[in-house]
Amino acid sequence: MIRLLRLFCLAVLLVVVSASPTAAHDVRAGADLRIAQTIAGAELTLVIKATTRVPGPLRVEVIGFPSAPALDLRLRSTADGRVTHGTAAPGRPAQFRVEETGPHELTVGAGGETAVIPFRVLVDRGSGWEFLIYGGLFVAGLLLVGGLLTGAFNRRGRPAVVVTAVAAAGISVAALIVVLEPWLPARPPDGAEPRPTGSALGRPYVQRVVTTVPARPAAGEEFTTRVELFDGSTGRPVDDLAVHHEAMAHLVVTSQDGRYFRHVHPLRTAPGRLEVRLRADRPGRYLTYVELERTDSGGQLLTGSFTVAGPERPTASPGPGIQDAAAGTVTVTPAVPRAGRPATVEVAANGTPRPWLGMAGHLIVRAEDGEFLGHVHEMGTPGSRLRFTFGFPVPGRYFAWAQYATDRGITTVPFTVEVPR
């Protein structure tokens, strides 16, 4: 009996260890899908609410700021081509109806811009372990009743002891599965993408081409930054990006001198193509950094550059709900940071921060020569003072931007840090 118990425990341990934990960027059945978009000059987050049954309702919400535009929405089922339309704005969600699980596309339009967001309608099929839980309890109940009856009619009691022991084992198995169920492999939900059958090493990294339309933007004029993504092995467009910190991609654009900074979330306008409209206020070289994650591949930072021509032309606000703040609200500890050692950056927020991209605050750091870009998040400190921990890799000058959101909009706090040799 002891040997059997040991073998049972070993089997449970192997199942738990081999079970793959759900990644933070996976979209699960029963969970909302949140995707940040920079559209019509505004920062918005689309929330595609979880669907519990099909056919059934699908709700799309918009999280934004007071000046955010209304969105024209178009929902299409990839399987049968069924199309429905709606509109949404902050505080005014759109309600759709879905007839089946699986791949869908949500087209979003505002200010002459259009994004197409692919997603899957997932419905939980329930845990396959429930059969063992309820089956074990049912069998245990029958055996306990049988043990009591056997004991009543058998004076020796040995069969009753055996039956009762087996029943207790059934209860123990059921209880153990209840405790371990969160770590056991789950059944894929209805509508889930088939598991890849390719290499166990995952998919190749993404290659990129960064261009602008027009090819040489003029200072003060609006232009489009385009990022085209290709499979590093086949050269085909990459259209399997995972949602990474509530966005399909994060694009950071800075001028070479660090005076211009934008952190935006480009629109998917075609398979493998991301675009966002920008406006630069001064001529010169601009550096781009795209932070993304490909499904079954991992996170990447893709770099590029472009040049802006013409005389300097100051522009208006970076966009609705986006503003800059003075750098005097930043404290770096130690005051003279050392390369390779962690430093603490504290930012006094003007107002109460609210979650943006899943975090209370963001710190983006770029080396003066543009060869390094770092991005960390706030440490979860309650209140209006944001704290970040960051390690500057080598001596030199760094441009940094702390960002946070309040009910009024997104605030960017620029500052510089000198790391001595």
- Statement: residue 13 has pLDDT above 60: no
Q: Do 297 and 384 belong to one domain?
A: no
Q: How confident is the model at residue 3 (pLDDT cuts 50, 70, 90)?
A: low
Residue keyed to tokens 């000059």? 41
Average pLDDT score over residue span 21-39: 73
- Neighbouring residues of 120: CB distance < 8 A, sequence distance ≥ 6: 27, 101, 102, 103, 104, 191, 192, 193
Q: Which residue has the higher pLDDT, 296 or 36?
A: 36
Is 24 part of a structural domain of the chain? no
For 291-329, the pLDDT digits (tens) are 999 988 889 999 999 999 999 987 655 655 566 666 558
| Average pLDDT score over the chain | 84
Is 72 part of a structural domain of the chain? yes
Average pLDDT score over residue span 353-368: 94
Q: Do 117 and 135 belong to one domain?
A: no
Instruction: Specify the CATH number for the domain of residue 43.
Output: 2.60.40
Helix (H) or strand (E) holding 113: strand 113-121
Query: What's the pLDDT at 321?
Result: 53
Among the residue ranges 71-75, 91-95, 293-297, 385-389, the one predicted with the least confidence is 293-297
For residue 40, the SS3 value is: coil
Instruction: Specify the CATH number for the domain of residue 348.
Output: 2.60.40.10
Average pLDDT score over residue span 95-115: 96
For 131-155, the pLDDT digits (tens) are 555 555 556 556 555 555 555 555 5
- Domain count for the chain: 4
Residue keyed to tokens 């960017």? 412
Is 170 part of a structural domain of the chain? yes
Tokens representing 164 are: 């009762």
Q: Do 107 and 140 belong to one domain?
A: no
Q: Do 67 and 93 belong to one domain?
A: yes
Q: Do 117 and 134 belong to one domain?
A: no
- Statement: residue 10 has pLDDT above 90: no
- Neighbouring residues of 323: CB distance < 8 A, sequence distance ≥ 6: 317, 408, 409, 410, 411, 412
Q: Do 215 and 259 belong to one domain?
A: yes
- Neighbouring residues of 167: CB distance < 8 A, sequence distance ≥ 6: 139, 140, 141, 143, 144, 147
- Statement: residue 199 has pLDDT above 70: no
Q: Which residue has the higher pLDDT, 124 or 79?
A: 79
- Neighbouring residues of 421: CB distance < 8 A, sequence distance ≥ 6: 395
> Domain residues for 62?
33-121
Q: How confident is the model at residue 8 (pLDDT cuts 50, 70, 90)?
A: very low
- Statement: residue 25 has pLDDT above 50: no
Is 316 part of a structural domain of the chain? no
Is 15 part of a structural domain of the chain? no
Query: What's the pLDDT at 189?
Result: 76
Most confident of 18-32, 100-114, 161-175: 100-114
Q: How confident is the model at residue 182 (pLDDT cuts 50, 70, 90)?
A: low
Q: Do 236 and 165 belong to one domain?
A: no
- Statement: residue 222 has pLDDT above 60: yes
Last residue of a domain, one of 69, 100, 121: 121
Q: Do 298 and 220 belong to one domain?
A: yes
Q: Do 54 and 83 belong to one domain?
A: yes
Is 138 part of a structural domain of the chain? yes
Average pLDDT score over residue span 192-219: 84
Is 99 part of a structural domain of the chain? yes
Query: What's the pLDDT at 313?
Result: 86
Average pLDDT score over residue span 360-374: 97
Percent of the chain topping pLDDT 70: 74
- Statement: residue 18 has pLDDT above 50: no
Q: Do 304 and 210 belong to one domain?
A: yes
- Statement: residue 374 has pLDDT above 80: yes
Q: How confident is the model at residue 383 (pLDDT cuts 50, 70, 90)?
A: confident
Query: What's the pLDDT at 9?
Result: 47
Task: Let me know if 278 is exposed, middle or buried by CB neighbors in 10 A (0-12, 13-18, 19+).
Answer: buried
Is 139 part of a structural domain of the chain? yes
Q: Do 228 and 153 belong to one domain?
A: no
Q: Do 116 and 131 belong to one domain?
A: no
Query: What's the pLDDT at 4?
Result: 44
Query: What's the pLDDT at 362?
Result: 96
Amino acid at 4: L
Instruction: Specify the CATH number for the domain of residue 214.
Output: 2.60.40.1930
